[in-house]
Structure 1
Amino acid sequence: MRLIFLGPPGAGKGTQATRLVKKHGIPQLSTGDMLRAAVAAETPIGLQAKAVMESGGLVSDEIVIGIVADRIEEPDAAKGFILDGFPRTVAQAEALDKMLAEKELKLDLVLELQVDQTALVDRIVKRAEEARANGEPVRKDDDPEIFRQRLDAYNRDTAIVAPYYRERGQLSAIDGMQSIEAVAAQIDAALDACVVTG
């Protein structure tokens, strides 16, 4: 089962991906974690990434795809994987398709958690207010200004990835405004349908 989770920050991707990892025994792959692991392991592609990062540059799509390609060869990904936070652009989606095709693999499903972004911002503002009221530190991700910037970046760069997969018939839209349990049930139904038709 090879899946991608799409959706804006705060949509609940992490919560649902963690549940699927436990249920199906497949790893959740975050490009940030994979990048750090490749650099630490000093793999050939990790050394390339390290050189770019040390020079203050952004790691290229080619390097990121190389890191994903290496990671999905590991034994724990043999039954599949969940990509979270990748691809972020259509160019990355195309490169991912090409790399998977070269390995004679394909994506099973792309799950897009659709949410009301105004409600998301309200939720983050409320969470930050509650933390302050309880004398707790506000998580960096829960700073409303930082969150709005992340949301803007998502809308500018990543929101266009969903139509790419929709055109290929690989996208399943999930109503992310429901309860965690209801979202989970809708995801499970989409996966069941995918297994039947796929």
Structure 2
Amino acid sequence: MRIVLLGPPGAGKGTQANVIVNKYKVLHISTGDILREAVKNETAPGLRAKKFMDAGNLVPDQLVTEMLTEKLKNSNVKTGFVLDGFPRTVNQAEILETALCELSMPLDLVIYFATSEQTILKRLTGRLICRGCGGIFHLTNMPPLKEGICDFCGGELYQRSDDCEQTIKNRIDVYNKQTKELIGYYERKNLLQKVSGDLDVEPLFIILQNILEKIF
């Protein structure tokens, strides 16, 4: 099972990735986590990436893919992986395809979470993230058992500074401009499945489970 989850911020990709990982025992790979980990550990690629990040620039596609490939090489991915947050452009998709083919790990499936702006705004303005494990909660839809504390690891929950309405709208616009061609790219390769990201966690996972179990 080697799949990519595509969708705008707040579509529920991270939440569903966690559910898929727990159900099917595959590796969850988030490029954001890989970048943060590499910078924190001061690896050679991480230090190169930090220069771009400190300057407020995007990390080059080739460097992100290099770090992702290194993660796959050094991880147990026999059962597969769920890739969340990458690719976002056709160029990234092409670089990723080349890298995965060199590892004999071609993608099996790409799932696109089609999500309305109204849903995204509602979710992200109430989103809570764990500083420890990255677990995701919501003030109203999925509150933690204990206020401000992660159910999974006991870490502190916080709201991202960019989870405000205007910033979210800007992120949606950027995503839509970047990703429109990417959806067509994967459709032409017969890898794309579309689902509604407007659904709540449980009904959406039932749909995803049906898709996954037909293929795997």
TM-score interval (norm. to shorter):
0.7 to 0.9
Corresponding position of 1:29? 29
Structure 2: tracts of 5 or more residues without a match: 128-138, 140-147, 149-157
Map 1:13-52 → 2, pairs under 5 A: 13-52=13-52
- Please state if 1:77 is matched with 2:77: yes
Of 81-90 and 158-167, the range deviating more from structure 2: 158-167
Structure 1 outlier segments of 4+, above 6 Å: none
Q: Secondary structure at the match of 1:11?
A: coil
CA distance, structure 2, for counterparts of residue 125 and residue 30 of structure 1: 18
Q: How far is 1:165 from its partner?
A: 0.7
Counting matched residue pairs gives: 188
Q: Per-residue displacement from partner, 1:85-141 (whole Å, max 9, x unpaired)?
A: 1001110000000111111111111111112224433x259859xx7xxxx997535
Corresponding position of 1:117? 117
Contact residue 7 and residue 112 of structure 2 kept, 8 A = yes
Contact residue 124 and residue 143 of structure 1 kept, 8 A = no
AA of the residue aligned to 1:32: G
CA distance, structure 2, for counterparts of residue 51 and residue 12 of structure 1: 30
The alignment yields a C-alpha RMSD, in angstroms, of: 2.4
Corresponding position of 2:165? 144
- Please state if 1:155 is matched with 2:176: yes
Q: Secondary structure at the match of 2:53?
A: helix
Structure 1: tracts of 5 or more residues without a match: none
Between Structure 1 and Structure 2, which shows a larger proportion of helix residues? 1
Q: Percent identity?
A: 37
Change (3 A) 1:141 1:55: closer
Q: Secondary structure at the match of 2:73?
A: coil
Contact residue 124 and residue 144 of structure 1 kept, 8 A = no
Change (3 A) 1:26 1:178: same
What is the TM-score normalised by the length of structure 1?
0.84
Q: Secondary structure at the match of 2:76?
A: helix
What is the TM-score normalised by the length of structure 2?
0.77
Corresponding position of 2:6? 6
Q: Secondary structure at the match of 1:8?
A: coil
Change (3 A) 1:159 1:118: farther
Corresponding position of 1:103? 103
CA distance, structure 1, for counterparts of residue 92 and residue 212 of structure 2: 24
Change (3 A) 1:20 1:61: same
Contact residue 140 and residue 146 of structure 1 kept, 8 A = no
Q: How far is 1:4 from its partner?
A: 0.7
Q: How far is 1:171 from its partner?
A: 0.7
Map 1:60-71 → 2, pairs under 5 A: 60-71=60-71
